Amino acid sequence: MKNFVFLLAILFIIPYISEAQDTEGCKDHPLFTRFPNFYINECTSNYNELELKMKTRKTEIKEGNLTKIFYKFAGDKEPSPLQIMKNYENAIIKNGGKLVFKSTTTDEGREATFSLTASGKDYWVKLGPFGGTPDECENYSLAVLEMEQMKQEIQANDMFDAIKKDGFIALYINFETGKANIMDDSKTIIDQIVLMLTQNKNLNISIEGHTDNVGTNKLNQTLSENRAKSVMNALTAQGIENSRLSYKGWGSAKPIADNKTEEGKAKNRRVEIVKK
């Protein structure tokens, strides 16, 4: 997070100087520094929906923790909407984000859509609309939608019933982005796997990791293996015999949902507990 904000600060290197004051209670989003010489005229922050323009100009509505900030210019020489847009675009892409949609014409409505993952969380960013002329920006808005991570509350007996019935169960264990470190909010799932194995001494399992299709096949294969191994290590650390466990990674080879949507990708990023 610190690196992300630092890079943005470098890109927006012109000092922010303005006699205008931000509206009371409003501040910049932690991920973003405003463009110089703008102040916050209005802001909201709540759980809400956000309509986003996607590729081929179709729109999608997503929901999550939404922060909207409305900036107004208070300097001498107004920047162009394109100048502001390029600064945000460069900063987001340099930090691993993606430009999903951009329009710079007044006919289509000047705005851009970005997707971004930072500190283990997925974000959608809407920049625009822009007020003013094509050459001068009087105001612009920034909307940042923090997606809820895939959460799962499941008990040991439910896991065991699913494994008896289907031979496996898909679990949504949250890991640090691009890594195999298990996030704290998923430790309860590990505890329930331990409880299930403790209560069912004859059950041996294979722990199998799966990813979405972002990245190369080789990287996804390695990541899925490392995450499966991380789960196995977490189980043995709580006393489960290593002889009852094995692990395997499938990368993105076995999707269960459409990788063309963020929701589908989230479902594909899973760990399956398979009965041996």
- The string of DSSP codes covering 12-73 is T-S----S--PPTT----TT-PPPTTEEEEEEEEEEEEEEEE-GGG-EEEEEEEEEEEEEEE
Q: What is the mean pLDDT of residues 185-189?
A: 91
Q: What is the pLDDT of residue 108?
A: 64
**C-beta separation of 247 from 231 below 8 A:** yes
Q: What is the pLDDT of residue 142?
A: 96
Q: Which domain does 117 fall in, by range? A: 2-146
Going 141 to 44 to 59 to 147, the CA torsion angle's sign is positive
pLDDT digits 0-9 by tens, 6-53? 444 434 434 444 457 899 999 999 998 899 999 999 999 998 889 999
Residue 151 forms part of a structural domain: no
Report H helices in 122-215. Answer: 156-166, 187-199
**C-beta separation of 205 from 245 below 8 A:** yes
- CATH number of domain containing 180: 3.30.1330.60
Indicate if 142 and 174 belong to the same structural domain.
no
φ/ψ (deg, to 5) at 128? 110, 170
Indicate if 17 and 78 belong to the same structural domain.
yes
Indicate if 191 and 75 belong to the same structural domain.
no
Q: End-to-end distance of the chain based on CA atoms, in angstroms?
A: 41
Indicate if 125 and 31 belong to the same structural domain.
yes
Residue 66 forms part of a structural domain: yes
Indicate if 106 and 195 belong to the same structural domain.
no
Residue 265 forms part of a structural domain: yes
What's the total number of domains in the chain? 2
Indicate if 140 and 175 belong to the same structural domain.
no
User: Is 8 exposed, middle or buried, given 0-12, 13-18 or 19+ CB atoms closer than 10 A?
Assistant: buried
Q: What gap in Å lies between CA 102 and CA 80, rounded to an integer?
A: 15
pTM of the model: 0.57
Q: What gap in Å lies between CA 179 and CA 182, rounded to an integer?
A: 9
Say how many CA atoms lie within 13 Å of 129 toward its Cβ: 10
129: helix, strand or coil: strand
The C-alpha angle 44, 130, 107, rounded to 5 degrees, equals 130
pLDDT digits 0-9 by tens, 63-117? 888 999 999 999 889 999 999 999 999 989 888 889 999 987 766 678 999 998 8
Which of 97, 118, 146 represents a domain boundary (last residue)? 146
Tokens of 127: 């920049």
Residue 149 banded pLDDT, cuts 50, 70, 90: low
